[in-house]
A = this chain, B = another copy of it.
Amino acid sequence: MRTRNRKPRGAHRFAYGGLDRIIHERARLGVLTSLIAHPKGLSFGDLKELCALTDGNLSRHLQVLEQAKLVEVRKGYEGNRPQTLCRITAQGRRRYLEYLAVLEQVIMDAAAAAKLGTSFS
């Protein structure tokens, strides 16, 4: 196996520091994407179903997201039934969109790279 002698350009080019770890974690990415798709909020039960998470897992991830002020979780009512409601905050929305921009960069890098790989390897 040989490497090219040419040095790779751009130190830290693939560091992707903007991929906020709180948002990047797979389950939380699903939760936030669900919530951004439902800006008026989702019940705990619906969110659990959409993201295929257990009660325990969803609770744990919501706690992380709530502490980071990305979502708010409130007790409310659906008719007469008590219900836990989850909603993305304005800050959550803003940070999610920033995260998305970095994710798009990864995809563009990867798509460009994969194309190069096809022609050269």
With beta carbons under 8 angstroms apart, the residue of B29, B37, B85, B111 that contacts A112 is: B37
Cβ-based interface call for A21 (8 A): yes
Size of the chain A interface, CB-CB below 8 angstroms:
63
Given contacts A49-B12, A120-B39, contact A33 B110 (CB under 8 A): yes
Is there an interface contact between A1 and B87, defined as CB atoms closer than 8 Å? yes
Is there an interface contact between B11 and A50, defined as CB atoms closer than 8 Å? yes
Is there an interface contact between B103 and A7, defined as CB atoms closer than 8 Å? no
Which single residue of chain B is at the shortest CB-CB distance from A78? Answer: B3
Is there an interface contact between B46 and A8, defined as CB atoms closer than 8 Å? yes
Instruction: Mark interface residues in A80-121 (1 if CB within 8 Å of B CB, else 0).
Output: 000101010000010011001001101101111110110011
12 other A-B residue contacts (CB within 8 Å) besides A1-B85, A3-B46, A19-B26: A1-B41, A1-B72, A1-B74, A4-B40, A5-B78, A14-B51, A24-B26, A37-B116, A37-B117, A39-B117, A96-B110, A100-B110
* Chain A, 28-86, CB within 8 A of any chain B CB: 29-31, 33-34, 36-43, 46, 49-53, 72, 74, 76, 78, 83, 85
